[in-house]
Structure 1
Amino acid sequence: MKILRSNDYRHMPWKNGGGETIEIAVSPDRAPLSDFDWRVSMATVANDGLFSSFPGIDRTLSILEGAGMTLSIEGRPPKLLTVADAPLSFPADVTTSAKLANGPITDLNVMTRRQSLRHRVRKLHVEHSQPITSHARELIFFCHRGSVALSTEGVSATLHALDTAVLQPVAVTLSADIASEVFLIEISSA
């Protein structure tokens, strides 16, 4: 289990230069934007505009904070995405633009290289104890709100808000003393 603390995340400009992204985790480690297998990041979107294009990449977007934004994704009707909505998946290489609903938002962005990997993102509300089983090749837990303890095969760790754990698929138990929110990201072979 690899624990990533929020104060260790890497800050970098967006690919299109329109803002800043906070890279939470990337594989392989320190891979550039042009050559990653998978990537998890957060960004604050303060203005309407176009998304960066990532050829051969699939992406899933979740709203963490703010009133939301309307996404115009090529080939789809416009979609308002808010904190209450499930994560939204779409190709990262089609023309996509965003119009903010009411001020800046913060989003969670998950991307995988389409030819070799696929991913699934689930928002989990954790209270008390919750077992997690998965057949994915890698599991990533991103603690959005609260504090969550992870335990697996004699190893345990606590994630506080905005911390992340990356681990191989094993039986994992999440537990929380207060209502907490975690994003579970499952990375699998294509």
Structure 2
Amino acid sequence: MKLLPASGHKRMPWKNGGGETIEIAVFPQSASLSDFDWRVSMAIVASDGPFSAFPGIDRTLSILEGNGMTLLIDGRDPARLTQADAPLAFPADVATSANLIDGTIVDLNVMTRRGKLTHLVRRLDVEREGTLTSKAATALIFCHRGAVTLDGNGQTLALSAGDAVLASGPVATALKTPARCELLLIEIDVAQGA
């Protein structure tokens, strides 16, 4: 398991220049916005507008801060997405725009190359103690709120809000938190037939 501290996340402009993204992890490590296999990032969205298009990419969006937004995804009914909602998956190469519900939001964005990889994003609430297991080829554990200690895979790592852990292969770890923490588990696997 590799610790990805919040202080090391990379800030860069959106692909369409409309805002700023904070890259938590990308693979391959030196990949650009046009040639990554997978990417996990956060974005601050301060105004309504279109999403950047990523040909051949699937994406999942989760609201981290703020009152959320309504997503207008071509070919679908409008989708309201708030902190209380499950992460929303949709193709990143379909015309998509967002209308903020009430003020600026921060979102978590997970993207994988279609036909090569798949991904799943889950929210996990931990009170005091818990366990986390994943059989995915790659797992990223993002600490959204609170602090947590992970003890597993022969390592002990402490995470604060904004930190992440990147793990290859199966993960089985005990979780301990002083009170309560909110995590997002991102699991990335090779697509069937790839």
CA distance in 1, matches of 2:107, 2:173: 26
1:87 aligns with 2:87: yes
* Residue of structure 2 in register with 1:67 after alignment: 67
The alignment-based identity, stated in percent, is 61
Secondary structure, aligned partner of 1:167: strand
What is the Cα-based RMSD across aligned positions, in Å? 0.8
Give the structure 2 partner of residue 185 of structure 1. Answer: 186
TM-score (ref. length: structure 1): 0.98
The answer for the alignment partner of 1:124 in structure 2 is: 124
Aligned position for 1:100 = 100
- 5+ long unaligned stretches in structure 1: none
Return the letter of the residue paired with 1:188.
Answer: D
**Equivalent residue letter for 1:185:** I
Structure 1 residue 3: Cα displacement: 0.5
* Matched AA of 1:23: E
Alignment length (residue pairs): 190
- What residue in structure 2 maps to residue 38 of structure 1? 38
Q: What's 1:174 paired with?
A: 175
Aligned to 1:51: 51
Q: Using the alignment, how far apart are the partners of 1:37 and 1:154 within structure 2?
A: 28
Structure 1 match to 2:28? 28
Q: Output the CA distance in 2 between the equivalents of 1:123 and 1:13.
A: 27
Q: Which runs of 4+ in 1 moved over 2 A?
A: none
Q: Which ranges of structure 2 fall in alignment gaps of 5 or more residues?
A: none
Aligned residue in 2 for 1:138: 138
Read off the aligned partner of 1:112 and give its amino acid letter.
Answer: T
Q: Secondary structure at the match of 2:134?
A: coil
Q: How much does 1:175 deviate? A: 1.8
Does the residue aligned with 2:3 lie in a helix, a strand or coil? strand
Aligned ranges for residues 5-24 of structure 1 at < 5 Å? 5-24=5-24
Q: CA deviation at 1:146?
A: 0.2
Q: Could you report, residue by residue, the CA deviation over 1:24-83 in whole angstroms, capped at 9, with x for unpaired residues?
A: 100111210001011000000011000000011000000001111000011110011001
